[in-house]
Amino acid sequence: VAVSAAQSADGRLADLPAVRAAARAHGARTYVDASQSAGWLPMEADADDFLAAVGFKWLLGPHGASFFVAPRDFGGLTPLLAGWVAGERPWDSCYGPVEELAHSARRFDVSPALFTYAGLRASLELLEEIGVDVVHAHDVGLADRFRAGLAGLGHEPVPAPGSAIVSVPGLGHRQGELSRSGIEVSDRSGNLRAAFHLYNTPADVDRLLDALAA
């Protein structure tokens, strides 16, 4: 059962405990994409059978790195793009087929983007220093401020309580106008999508609301 913890398009959060319970009742495994939630939504990386997340977006890192959690038996997955790093003895796997895959989840790795990892380490250290609970409270607080302001303007976002992502039906066409004024939001299928994170402030929210009211 594959599911996103937070939907990219509109910010809706999956009820992961319910998904896990239903999957286990049927003998199924769960695969969670945390690309839109890792970094702001508290989670347990090993609560599901598989979990994957990109290193950029909410984790604030450069492009080129990702995270993957797998069960010890790897769930029957077979690496299809195994390079030298995926070998149990990487330096013996440089010039030909990988004779023995790594006994850990490294068997799914490709050649590392070394400079990316250097940047990502700094980003992760920052998030760890601040704490995901604090980031969560900040991000969701800004999103709730935006939702409250939208109600005052007569707009109703897609219901996504507790999410840092707010999607407003019917306002996607204003994305270009807002971008030209220095406000970066997205147009997703006609919806105006705003995602709030550490680098945003209440003043950013109010500026967006003022622009929408104009």
Domain with 75 in it: what CATH number? 3.40.640.10
194 closest CA partner among 101, 24, 55, 211: 211
In a shared domain, residues 112 and 136:
no
- Is the dihedral angle over the CA atoms 70, 74, 79, 84 positive or is it negative? positive
112 and 178 in a single domain? The answer is no
| Cα–Cα dist 195/204, whole Å | 11
Element at 179 (helix H, strand E): helix 175-180
Task: Give 23-51 pLDDT, tens digit per residue.
Answer: 999 999 999 999 999 999 999 989 999 99
CB 108 within 8 A of CB 98: no
Domain end residue (candidates: 130, 164, 198): 130
Q: Are residues 103 and 26 in the same domain?
A: yes
Domain range enclosing 176:
132-213
Q: What is the pLDDT of residues 9-19, one digit of tens each?
A: 999 999 999 99
Residue 102 · residue 88 · CB < 8 Å: yes
| β-strand partners of 31 | 2, 50
Could you report the per-residue pLDDT of 60-95, keeping only the tens digit for each?
Answer: 999 999 999 999 888 888 888 778 899 999 988 888
Per-residue pLDDT of 142-183, as tens digits, reads: 999 999 999 999 999 999 999 999 999 999 999 999 999 999
